[in-house]
Structure 1
Amino acid sequence: MRKEPFPSLKLILEMFLIGTLGITTVSFTYFLAIETIDTSLAIVMWYFFPVIVVLISWIVFKKRPSRNIVISLFFSLTGIIITTGQVKGGSNSAIALVMISSFLFAFYLLAVTRTLAKVNLLTGVTFINIGAAIGYWLICATLPFGLSVDFPSNQSSWIYISTFALFGTVAPFMFSYAGLKRVGPSMLSVITTIEPVLAILMGVIFLNEAVTITRVVGATFVIGALIALSILESRDEAALEHQ
């Protein structure tokens, strides 16, 4: 941050808003959802966001998707339908929250890609994460949906929270932003599609979540469709660059 000029007030507010309205709302709706739905199922459904990005690009930026992209969209939706069929009754609200989180993340990704082009990595990570912290303090102050706040009462709990904040939030954002700057959103999407696989694996190992054939098939449809979509988008971008 020392080598770069201090960002303008407008740019600082833009980064704060990305953190407050982007990260906070995306993670808050997701955390609400996983209270009543398996983590592995939630994250597979959440990975619907690349499809939303394609649709937004088509509607807003007039970038019509190719036939291959439409096919990828079909298989992704098929996988999500198969996966959500494994959700127990009474979880419709959780499904809705996951999809809202995914939809919001699509807008967040488009916004952060635009903003990161104007600032360096540390500046972006710093102000966006400060904005996210402000967003959660606002939630604590207003307590929507009848929520309550229980602050830790011992030192070890604060240490755990600080560790999760550093290695579970700040560090991942820094690495993802660095990757976004270097390889672009398409290739980043290819790399991050490994997350649903890891989420299912971690859910089985640490949370004793069940493995079913239907769940594996649904996850395979989603992951396969998203990998195909990302690769096709990368090819299109490469072809345009060589024209």
Structure 2
Amino acid sequence: MDRGRVVRRQAAGPVAEAEPPDSVPFAPRPVRAGFVPGAVRARALTVAGEEPSRFRLSATCLTFPPGSRTLVTGLSGSGKTTLARALAGLTPATGGTVEHDGARLASAVERRDSTALRAVQYVHQDARASFDEFRPVIGQLSRTAVLLRDMPADQAYEEVAGLADRLGLRVDDLARRPTALSGGQLQRAALLRAVAARPALLICDESTSAQDPAAARATVRLLVRESEEHGTAVLFITHDSALFAPVAQRRLRVTDGRVEECDATG
């Protein structure tokens, strides 16, 4: 190139200007540093606290590539759930951004469209509060796939029923209202509802706290399967690190709103 012109160059220097091309080749748009196709990324994500000098979540930069599994630990009140809720838009960030595949997601969940809602799914720790108590549970689960994936209702129902079987949930039980199910059953149902969206990032906040050991292990197996077969990035937030550590590929620790990377023994 010479002042924006294409020239033919030999050892002695430019000898002839190239002929103008018949067509201009496609020029791809610049790729931002650190871009990972299909990933969910937090860029300087921040949640302010009541005191100006103290943050509930200090500026945090994280990338969740497709199929990744990340374990987050920390003491109660350290900021683990704040991180999760900020990623999902349930606690609007006061600084920074959340992106999926390079596209910025609104900081508040109310402003996210169906594509953004599907991208990041959050499984609440209080599963019972996340259900409409007047509607059968299985209808609420399959409705997610209908709304966020445009699936026909019958196909969504069959998919949810198949997932339920993997977690030891009977369709007859899910056909009842939430008040008829135990806490452990509702936790597994809440997880299925999020999985039915086929999200890019699935956030599980203490998602096995009400489950017996067998059900908890089934939950972990399902999450690993989703990450491996569907490329879902999974974020485990838990006090029970022994359950999730064997399947996690990365470990983070949150302390006073600061997110730090851990080594294999951290």
Q: Which has the higher strand share?
A: 2
TM-score using structure 1 length: 0.28
Q: Give the TM-score taking structure 2 as reference length.
A: 0.26
Question: Which structure's CA Rg is the greater one?
Answer: 2
Flag the structure with more relative contact order, 1 or 2, with Cα contacts below 8 A and sequence separation at least 6.
1
